[in-house]
């Protein structure tokens, strides 16, 4: 089953998709944040287009596993997506995903000047791969 993942941000939403077996995460796209309902409709539409069976939304928790303002925003996005789609939605701890994406770019040998810019789709890929790894049979 394909899984679609979202790294929700204040300006952009990174989107990643798994392979059909739900084993490997790949970056898909970056959506510019417009409004929660519009973002939710776009996410639901991407899930339909790519025949996803589950949508995972990254939720940043603090060091004690407690909700943060960003995690509450992610939960509200999840509720909005649920209104647009019949697919199950899972919230998944995204803590450190942007830093992991940045480290991945460094490990790939991307020059510092080319590492500027958004990492949203790569952060979504990190979130999705973490979810997939944790849910392997």
- Total domains in the fold of the chain: 1
124, 74 contact by CB (below 8 A): no
* Confidence bin at 35 (pLDDT 50/70/90): very high
Write down the pLDDT at residue 92. 94
Q: Give helix 36-49 / helix 69-84 axis angle, nearest 10°.
A: 60
More confident residue, 91 or 110: 91
* Confidence bin at 115 (pLDDT 50/70/90): very low
- In whole angstroms, give the CA distance from residue 25 to residue 126: 8
* Confidence bin at 30 (pLDDT 50/70/90): very high
pLDDT of 99 strictly over 90: no
19-45: average pLDDT: 97
Distance linking the first and last C-alpha atoms of the chain = 13
Q: What is the DSSP string of 106-129?
A: HHTT--GGGS-S--HHHHHHHHHH
Mean pLDDT of the chain: 88
Q: Which residues contact 110 (CB under 8 A, 6 or more apart)?
A: none
Domain range for 53 is 2-134
pLDDT tens-digit map of 54-64: 999 999 888 88
Supply the pTM of this predicted model. 0.85
Residue 30: CATH number of its domain: 3.30.420.140
CA dihedral for 83, 88, 93, 98, sign (positive or negative): negative
15, 46 contact by CB (below 8 A): yes
Please report, rounded to a whole number, the percentage of residues in the chain having pLDDT higher than 90. Answer: 66
Write down the pLDDT at residue 68. 87
């Amino acid at each position: 089953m394909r899984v679609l993942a979202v790294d929700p941000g204040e300006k952009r939403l990174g989107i990643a998709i798994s392979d059909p077996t739900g084993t490997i995460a790949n970056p898909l796209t970056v959506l510019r944040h417009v409004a929660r309902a519009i973002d939710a409709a776009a996410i639901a539409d991407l899930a339909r287009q790519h025949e996803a069976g589950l949508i995972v939304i990254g939720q940043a928790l603090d060091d004690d596993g407690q909700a943060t303002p960003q995690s509450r925003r992610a939960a509200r996005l999840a509720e909005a997506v649920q209104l647009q789609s019949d697919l199950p939605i899972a919230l998944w701890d995204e803590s450190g995903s942007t830093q992991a994406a940045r480290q991945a770019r460094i490990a790939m040998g991307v020059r510092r000047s080319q590492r500027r810019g958004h990492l949203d789709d790569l952060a979504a890929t990190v979130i999705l791969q973490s979810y997939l790894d944790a849910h392997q049979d």
